[in-house]
A and B are shown apart, each in its own frame.
Chain A
Amino acid sequence: MDDVPPRRPLTSSLVVRLTVSTCVLIVATCVVLSVVLVRRHIRDIRDGLVERGRAITGFVAHEAELGVLSGDLGALRQIATFAQGNSDVLYCRFFDRRGRLLVSGGDGRVADPSEARALEAGPVVVAPDVWEFRAAISTPEMPRTREELLADHAAEESLGGSDGPRERIGVVAIGIALEKLHQHRRLAFATAAVFTLVVAILAVATAALLLHGMLGALASAAAMTEERGRLAELKAGFVTQASHEFRTPLAVILSCCSVLRRYGGRMALEQQQKRLGKIENSVRHMTELLEDVLTLGHAESGRLSCVHRPTDVAGLCEEILADVRAMASTSHNLVFDGTACRGEAMLDAKLVRQIIRNLLVNAVKYSPRGGTVRLAVARGDGALVFRVSDQGIGIAPEDQARLFEPFHRGGNVGEIEGSGLGLAITRKAAESHGGAVRVESAVGQGAVFVVTLPDTAVEPGATALSKHGSGRHGAAILSRGRS
C-alpha cells in the first residue's frame, strides 16, 4: 500500500533520547514521591507533637487549678517539675489572672510575660526551635444562685467534673523543644535523598547498559546492512562484467556465421576455415570463462575445501611443472628450484596445484617466446614460500593494486587473451589454504608472484599422498588446456 506511512527508522539518536527521557522520568517521579512522602511524614510527626503538647498543657492546667486558687506556689513548683519530666519539655510557667509570673521552672529563656495573656489554639513559636503551648487555668464560677449550687453539686457527683461556666484564674505556658522534630525531618530528608540517589544511580546504570546494548546492536545492524549492500553491489558489478565478457565472443561467432552463410560461396576455402577456427576459439573462450566464473563463485562462497595431507613438496612442484611444460615446452624454458625445500609439508595438493599452475600458465602467457619461467620453493619461519618468476611484460604499479580483482587485466596485456579471473581464483585458493599471494613487478621487467602458505608440522600417522594419487584427478577437474 502506498498510503501506509513508512515506519520511523530506529536511529541511534532516537534510542538515546528515549532512554534519557525514561531515565529522567524515573528519577523525577522518585524525587516527587520522596518529597511527598517525607512531607507527609514530617506533618504527621508535627501533628503528633502538637497533640502531645496540648495534652500535657491541658493536663497541667487542670492539675494547677487548686494550686493557683489557693496560691500554693510549692504545689505549683511540683507540678512544674513533673511537667518538665516529660521529654522535650523545656519549661513550665504559671501566670496569674493578671499575667504575673507565679512559678517558672526549667529553661532560663523567658518569653515576654505580657504575651502570657494571649491564648492561642496552636503552638506559638517563641524561638526557632521552641514551641510554646498555653492553656487557661480555670475554675468553675462561684454559683450565684441556689439553683446553680444545686446543679453544681449534682454535676460534680455524677460526672466527677463541672460542666458549668468557668472563669480564668491563670495561664500555664509550656515550652516544647523542636529538636527532635528537626532531627526527624533531617533524617527523613536524608533517607529520601539516599533513596532517590540510589534509584537515580540504578536508573542511570540500567539506562547506560541498555543504551550500550542497543547502540551496539544498531551499529552492528547498520554495519551488516552496509556490508550486505556493498556485497550486493560487488556482485552486481561482477554479474554485469561477466555478462559483458560473453558478448564479444558471441559477437565473433555470430558475425563469422553470418559471413560464412552469406558469402561462403564467394570465399576461398582458407578464408572459410579461418572463420570456422574463430568460431571454435570463441566457444573455447566462453567455456573457459564459464569455468572460471563457476570456480570463482565456489571460492567466494567458501566452498573451496582445504584438506591438509602430508605432501612431498618438491615432487608436487615437479608434477605441476611437467604439466605446464607439456603445453609450453617449445616456446618457453621452465625451471624448478627446490633446493631450499626438502621433505614433506601439510598441504592440500589440489589447491596448491590450482594456485601454482595458474601462475605458471600466466607466466608463460605473458612472457616472450624463449623466455624463462622459474618456480622456486623455500621453507622457513613456519612458512612455505613459492615464487613464480618470468621475464615478461610486467605489471604497472597502478594495476598491481587491483590485479587480484575479478576481470581486472593489466593495461599492457594488448592482444593476449585472458578471462581476467585467473588471479582472483588464485588468491581465493591461497586464502582457502590459509595463505596469501602477492606480486612484485615493474612494466617490461617481468614479474614475480609470491605465494606464502603456512608450514605446519607434519602429523605422524596421517596417510601420505603418493605422487600419482588422487591429486591428479582433482587437477583434471580444475585445470583446462589453454592453447
Chain B
Amino acid sequence: MKRIVVVEDNADVREEIVAILDFEGFEVRDADNGRRGLELVREWTPDLIMCDLMMPEMDGYAMLEALRADPRLKAIPFLCLTARAERRDMRKAMELGADDYLTKPFTAEELLAAIGAVTAKAARTAGQPGA
C-alpha cells in the first residue's frame, strides 16, 4: 500500500494530511474537488483513496458512486473524511461502498490507524477467492 490520493477542499487540512502521509513514506497526490480527484484516480490508480464528503463541485458521495461504477476502480479502498459525525451521512457513504470513515478533527495516529484498518481489510478480501 503505497499510493494514496487525498481529496479535500480545505487547503490547510489537505496540506497536513499530505505532510503526515509524506512523512510516513507514502506516495501522495492530492486534489481539492471530486472531479479532479476522479481524474487523478483514473490516471494514477492509487492503492487507497481518502476523500472529504462535503465538497463543492463534486462531493464525496458523487465521486464514490462514479468510482464504484467503474470496474477498473471499484476495488480501490475508499476512506471518507467528514466534519459531520451524523449517522445518516455515514450510513449513506457505507451503502455507496465506502470502506471506512474518519471524523475531523483527527490526530495523525487516528489517520494512520484508519489507513491500517482499511489496508488489512483489503488484504483479507483480496486473499479470499472470488473477491
Chain A partners chain B: yes
In the complex, which residues of chain B have a beta carbon less than 8 angstroms from the beta carbon of A250? 104-105
Chain B 72-107 near chain A by CB (<8 Å), digits 1 or 0 = 000000000001100000000000000000001111
- A258 near B13: Cβ-Cβ < 8 Å: no
- A254 near B107: Cβ-Cβ < 8 Å: yes
- A255 near B108: Cβ-Cβ < 8 Å: yes
- The reply on A262 being an interface residue by CB < 8 A is yes
Interface size grouping (class) on chain B = 10 to 19
- B105 near A259: Cβ-Cβ < 8 Å: no
Q: Which of B14-22, B60-68, B116-124 lines the interface with chain A?
A: B14-22
- Minimum C-beta distance from A40 to chain B (A): 76
In the complex, which residues of chain A have a beta carbon less than 8 angstroms from the beta carbon of B23? 259, 262-263, 266
Bound-state CA distance A266–B106 (Å) is 21
- The reply on A168 being an interface residue by CB < 8 A is no
Bound-state CA distance A258–B106 (Å) is 9
- B11 near A415: Cβ-Cβ < 8 Å: yes
- The reply on B109 being an interface residue by CB < 8 A is yes
- Minimum C-beta distance from B119 to chain A (A): 19
Interface size grouping (class) on chain A = 20 to 34
Bound-state CA distance A151–B17 (Å) is 146
- The reply on B10 being an interface residue by CB < 8 A is yes
- A258 near B109: Cβ-Cβ < 8 Å: yes
Q: Is the interface of A mostly helix, strand, loop or mixed?
A: helix
- B108 near A259: Cβ-Cβ < 8 Å: yes
- B11 near A254: Cβ-Cβ < 8 Å: no
In the complex, residue of chain A having the shortest beta-carbon distance to the beta carbon of B84: A244
In the complex, residue of chain A having the shortest beta-carbon distance to the beta carbon of B107: A258
Q: In B3-44, which residues have CB < 8 Å from any A CB? A: 10-13, 16-17, 19-20, 23
Bound-state CA distance A282–B108 (Å) is 18
- The reply on A248 being an interface residue by CB < 8 A is yes
Bound-state CA distance A250–B16 (Å) is 13
- The reply on A200 being an interface residue by CB < 8 A is no
- A258 near B20: Cβ-Cβ < 8 Å: yes
In the complex, residue of chain B having the shortest beta-carbon distance to the beta carbon of A252: B12
- Asked whether A251 and B19 contact (CB < 8 A) given A244-B83, A282-B12, A415-B11, the answer is no
- Minimum C-beta distance from A417 to chain B (A): 10
8 closest A-B pairs by CB? A255-B16, A254-B105, A258-B108, A251-B105, A251-B104, A247-B83, A252-B12, A263-B23
16 A–B pairs (Cβ distance < 8 Å), ordered by A = A244-B84, A247-B104, A251-B13, A251-B104, A252-B16, A252-B105, A253-B105, A254-B106, A255-B107, A258-B20, A258-B109, A259-B19, A259-B23, A262-B23, A263-B19, A275-B16
If A247-B104, A411-B56 are given as contacts, then 13 extra A-B residue pairs at C-beta distance below 8 Å, sorted by A number, are: A244-B83, A247-B105, A248-B13, A251-B10, A251-B13, A251-B106, A252-B12, A255-B17, A255-B20, A255-B107, A258-B107, A259-B19, A261-B108
